[in-house]
Each structure stands twice: as C-alpha cells, then as structure tokens.
Structure 1
Amino acid sequence: MTDDIDETAPPSGSGCAECDEAGGWWFHLRRCAACGHIGCCDSSLAQHASAHARETGHRLVQSFEPGEDWWWDYEAGAWAEGPALAPPTSRPDAQPVPGPEGRVPRDWRDVLRAAGR
C-alpha cells in the first residue's frame, strides 16, 4: 500500500481545490496521500475527495481536519493506516466548519439533509 503514498507531497491548499475554483463550500476535508489533493468529504455536496480517488486511482486519504489523523482506503472501503504526511496536516484551525467563511449558506444543514448527506 505504500506505493499509494507520497509522504513529501504537500497539501494542495487549505480547502477543497474544486470547491475553491467553483466558489462552492464544503463540510469536511480529506487529503489524498498520493498527491496531496485536498477534496471535500462524502458528506459535502460535491464529494470531490472520492471523485478524485475514482478519477486518479489514488485510493488513500487522510482526514484534513484539526485533531484527526485517521485514514480511509476508497478501494477497500475500509479504514487504513499510513505514515505521517508533510505539513500542514489539517486545514487552519481558524477556518470554520463548514467552510470557507462567506460561502456557506445559512441553511447549510437543511441543504445537506435535502441532498441526503
């Protein structure tokens, strides 16, 4: 499984790369262990982290939330383990959840519920 991990790859940013590009918002963030891509979780509307895994074959992600260090293997559909990745290891503590500030609708909980998240 270590072929799927580049410990030196820095995160692509402090938020979901595709949501940032489109002006969207996310619930939680995941970091690709192979390339550092930051994508939004499957509870987010766009689910960019799992889309990245499908499109690239990069199967392993680590949570990119402060205080979390768990891993997920999209191919196995199971928890995984991995080494320490290059810093930073999470979004900035000051960045709100959901985020980013200024792009999250006031009724975000209802939006996620309506989407089945």
Structure 2
Amino acid sequence: MATCEHLTQTEDPQARTPEGCEECLADGGRWVHLRRCLGCGHIGCCDSSPGKHATAHYRSTGHPVVQSFEPGETWRWCYADSQMG
C-alpha cells in the first residue's frame, strides 16, 4: 500500500498547548495520550481518552494528520485515509 498524500504533505506547527489537551485543560478533563495536529498545532487527546478531542478536532476542521505528542514517539496518523506513517 502506498503512503497517502496527506502523510507526505504535512506541516510542523508549534504545539498550541504543549502542557496538554487543549479542551481537557479548558474543561478540567483528563487524557491518556496526546496527539498534535500537523495542520495547526492543536493538541488533543487520543480515542482512549474520555474526550477523544484529537478525533473531534479532525471532524470539525478536516485537518487529516496528527502526530503522537508523547515523548519518544514520532508516528503519524491520517484520519482521512486511516493510514499510519
């Protein structure tokens, strides 16, 4: 399977809330793992977290690619093509 075009055409924006999930910080929620949107730098929580804010961000903005925001991890995920890179 070829790598999707979204994974090869990503930006590297600065994290908007490097201290944690933007929505969880605002509403007192909690997260399991963090994801950084490579379209705008939004930090959202993963789908194992109660808020699932990274996926919600994709659905509301259409920004397709996130990267793990966990120390030592560099993998990326494209929501549009359900592909890891």
Same fold (TM over 0.5): yes
Q: Which has the larger radius of gyration?
A: 1
Specify which structure has the higher proportion of strand.
2
TM-score normalised according to structure 1 size: 0.63
Structure 1 residue 78 displacement after superposition: 1.4
Structure 1 residue 15 displacement after superposition: 0.3
Partner residue in 1 for 2:29: 24
Partner residue in 1 for 2:83: 78
State the Cα RMSD in Å: 0.8
1:51 and 2:56 correspond:
yes
Once superposed, which parts of structure 1, at least 4 consecutive aligned residues long, lie more than 4 Å away?
A: none
Task: Give ranges in structure 1 of 5+ residues lacking alignment.
Answer: 81-117
TM-score normalised according to structure 2 size: 0.86
The separation in 2 between residues aligned to 1:53 and 1:31, in whole angstroms, is 11
Q: Percent identity?
A: 53
The number of residue pairs the alignment matches comes to: 77
Partner residue in 1 for 2:71: 66
Partner residue in 1 for 2:16: 12
